[in-house]
Copies of this chain bind each other. A is one copy, B any other.
Amino acid sequence: MAEEAAVRAQAETVRRLKQDKADPDEIAKEVAKLLEMKAQLGADEGKPKFVLKTPKGTRDFGPKEMAIRERAFKAIISCFKRHGAEVIDTPVFELKETLTGKYGEDSKLIYDLKDQGGELLSLRYDLTVPFARYLAMNKITNIKRYHIAKVYRRDNPAMTRGRYREFYQCDFDIAGQFDPMIPDAECLKIVHEILSDLQLGDFVIKVNDRRILDGMFAVCGVPDSRFRTICSSVDKLDKVPWEEVRSEMVGEKGLSPEAADRIGEYVQLHGGLDLIERLLQDPKLSQNKLAKEGLGDMKLLFEYLTLFGITGKISFDLSLARGLDYYTGVIFEAVLLQQENERVEEPVSVGSVAGGGRYDGLVGMFDPKGRKVPCVGVSIGIERIFSILEQRLEASEEKVRTTETQVLVASAQKKLLEERLKLISELWDAGIKAEMLYKKNPKLLNQLQYCEDTGIPLVAIVGEQELKDGVIKLRIVATREEVNVRRESLVEEIRIRTSQC
């Protein structure tokens, strides 16, 4: 085997270098090469030293997946920009201590980097903590920004449902001290715009407020120390019926049946302004300071949402109880609704695709003096959206183009490589997206087939006679029509025919 001979030759090289007392760096380099060759040789002998895969819970995006991903990002980014957001980016890892104490029990899902000397680092777990660190570090008290980037969680992956260990988050946040509920309303408007734009089907955005929840628990007689655990029971109401949640509260969590029943009356309520008004008159809730504050703001929010014309898809829902560790005010979550014509045996709600809320305390955790910067934000759950778009595309049999090439530069006869190179160079310099086959003498049929396969709409065919006449034959792939175009008009003609101006 030639490889074995090469390894022996390399071993000899190393031996000679050592004998010659050569530069130690040089020897080290050659030894490294030898080891590499040996490892390679092992692989060649059918004992590959490595498995060809991506790490658990991660995936490559091929050209087709990227085309879908870019389509979704485009809709989201253009919405964020429409709302005047700036964009920032932060490193993929943070000092470990930056993430410490921000995620409660979920901290165990954080990826740490190996201690190779120097700082202890962890991969970011979300974009919100890095954002808060960025604000505190730069003493920024006022910004509207978006951030689209990958985050990392050592979670149990469920890839078909869009749950990965490496996944994108698309965050939009408004930081600053403002008049109540105006930025909060804008976040909901943004969710509404994005979900409408992506045409993911019918959806509803559930809204609640942490203060209303806490007030409700108080007036129902839940002890302060049990707010969180009872809240996490409430959080299950989108998956299991009330009776089950109730028995968990009473049985496992030791809540009195009376308190549970009182909660039950509240958390099954959802509605709009009318419900808010009713609760503001509720003899118990209206006596609770927190609840009253939350309800007052909720009313204001609905007034603003009415002006935005989006209350049709908003539901004030007392069972919504997400991520309470974080949030201090309004919380919301958008869920897609099952299409009526889809006969799938699943619950009506097929899952959350966006969520967010107000978190007025997080930035203060990074400030040495605890100075607070009120924030409200939304995070789009883009991986689930990718999954839906991919599945839909699969079903529709629509052919996705993975390039934007406008024209293939081809030739019908042999010996025209130089002419093709000259022409394609002219087209590139004029800003036309052009390709050619990397062959000296490709067959016309193969060139046309390439256009069919990749969706290139036009072929510019170079031929002996046409060159003499100063024209190029332009073929429209879809119709097989062919027209002679004067060379100096070719760029313009391609632009018009691909309507890119």
Residues of chain A touching chain B, judged by Cβ–Cβ distance below 8 Å, are: 9, 12-13, 16-17, 20, 22-23, 26, 28-30, 32-33, 35-36, 39-40, 43-44, 46, 48-56, 58-63, 66, 69-70, 81-95, 97-98, 100-101, 104-105, 107, 111-116, 118-119, 121, 123, 133-134, 136-138, 143, 145, 150, 152, 154, 166, 174, 176, 178-179, 182-183, 185, 189, 193, 224-225, 228-229, 252-254, 303-304, 307-309, 325, 365-366, 368, 370, 402-405, 417-418, 421-422, 425, 428-429, 431-435, 438-440
Contacts and interface: CB of A to CB of B under 8 A. Distances in A.
Nearest to A99: B50
Given A66-B88, A438-B179, A97 B225 contact: no
B404 A36 contact: no
13 contacts: A16-B225, A29-B229, A50-B97, A52-B136, A58-B91, A66-B88, A81-B433, A82-B431, A83-B428, A83-B433, A189-B428, A193-B429, A309-B425
A62 B145 CA distance: 10
B84 A403 contact: yes
Of A50, A185, A368, A405, most B-chain CB atoms within 10 Å: A50
Contacts of A309: 425
A138 B62 CA distance: 10
A28 B229 CA distance: 11
Given A30-B228, A368-B43, A434 B60 contact: no
Nearest to A131: B60
A111 B93 CA distance: 11
Contacts of A417: 182
A421 to B, nearest CB: 4
A363 B104 CA distance: 44
Contacts of A439: 178-179, 182
B88 A134 contact: no
A342 B133 CA distance: 39
Contact of A435 (B83, B133, B152, B253): B83
Contact of A51 (B50, B95, B403): B95
Contacts of A145: 63
A307 to B, nearest CB: 4
Contacts of A39: 100-101
Contacts of A62: 88, 138
A26 B428 CA distance: 64
Contacts of A49: 97, 100
A91 B55 contact: yes
Given A145-B63, A438-B174, A113 B111 contact: yes
A84 B23 contact: no
Of A309, A368, A434, most B-chain CB atoms within 10 Å: A368
Contact of A66 (B12, B89, B121): B89
Given A60-B88, A63-B86, A84-B403, 5 more contacts: A16-B225, A23-B229, A29-B229, A60-B89, A179-B439
A189 B115 CA distance: 43
Contacts of A425: 189, 307-309
A119 B56 contact: yes
Contacts of A29: 104-105, 228-229
A288 to B, nearest CB: 19
A30 B225 contact: yes
Contacts of A54: 90-91, 94-95, 137
A115 B176 CA distance: 40
A304 B421 contact: yes
Contact of A365 (B23, B43, B228): B43
Nearest to A401: B86
Contacts of A174: 438
A95 B35 CA distance: 19
B134 A91 contact: no
Contacts of A90: 54, 60-61
B22 A254 contact: yes
B92 A182 contact: no
Contacts of A85: 403
Nearest to A32: B104
